[in-house]
Amino acid sequence: MQPNLIMIEDDVELAEILCNFLKRYNITVTNYDDPYLGISALSLIKYDLLILDLSLPGMDGLEICKEVRAKSDIPIIISSARSDLEDKIVGLELGADDYLPKPYEPKELYARIISVLRRYKKSNSVSEEVSHSTLILKEESHTIFFQGTPLTLTPAEYDVLTHLIKKNNCVVSRTELLNSALSLNEENESRSLDVLISRIRTKLGESSKEPKLIHSVRGIGYRLQA
């Protein structure tokens, strides 16, 4: 099915270039240069992915990211000229799945979109269910249940938690976990993994100070004890 994307970008000329380029790959993109109209459209129409600029008129993109993530698990790629590391970290903490600093080639955006969507879409592979007490992984439906309730996870969160579940009670290195989350990129260094783990822990109702399921292993990585 042809992906249907929404973009919130106030640089109309750039938006037109990106939309026309992605159209060549059968990806439909609707851009809104007004962030309020973009948020309204998101509440009315089901889109497959959001491309979000940060420096927008009247509303900061990070605010939009936070608001959208509170209501939806739509994949979010931040596309911004703000390349400061703190902006990247905050964007990931608020629920973005990727951060692409401007300037970049349209083909790189296309590659990021395909990568994120691949992680997000339901798997067409043979059904596999992995159960570890309070956590149940159902790969066919791309769902992880916690105490019987399906978790709302971003693609990167799903990838990392899935890998931990499959290696239950084993120590998994940071490098291995980062490689399992293909929606991350080389820009999102090791600290990004800590952000993802923190978000997952929050959704599991635990904290880093008193972990019950995901335990940090100093100098190595993490271990799920479910």
Q: Would you say residue 216 has pLDDT above 70?
A: yes
Q: How far apart are CA 154 and CA 25, in angstroms?
A: 24
CB 43 within 8 A of CB 50: no
User: Structure pTM?
Assistant: 0.59
Mean pLDDT, residues 87-102:
91
pLDDT tens, residue by residue, 46-89? 899 999 999 999 999 999 999 999 888 899 999 999 878 888 89
CB 2 within 8 A of CB 26: yes
Sequence spans of domains, the chain = 4-125, 135-224
Q: How far apart are CA 74 and CA 95, in angstroms?
A: 10
Which superfamily, per CATH, for 4-125? Response regulator (3.40.50.2300)
Tokens of 194: 């800590």
Q: Would you say residue 125 has pLDDT above 50?
A: no
Q: How far apart are CA 76 and CA 17, in angstroms?
A: 20
Tokens of 121: 């879409």
Q: How far apart are CA 93 and CA 192, in angstroms?
A: 9
pLDDT tens, residue by residue, 168-198? 888 888 888 887 776 555 445 556 788 889 9
Mean pLDDT, residues 143-172:
88
For residue 209, the model assigns a pLDDT of 73
- The CATH number corresponding to 135-224 among 1.10.10.350, 2.40.30.60, 1.20.210.10, 1.10.10.10 equals 1.10.10.10
For residue 138, the model assigns a pLDDT of 84
Q: Quick one: which of 43, 48, 45, 37 has its CA closest to 8? A: 37
Q: Quick one: which of 124, 132, 192, 126 has its CA closest to 162? A: 132
User: What's the distance, Cα to Cα, between the start and end of the chain in Å?
Assistant: 37
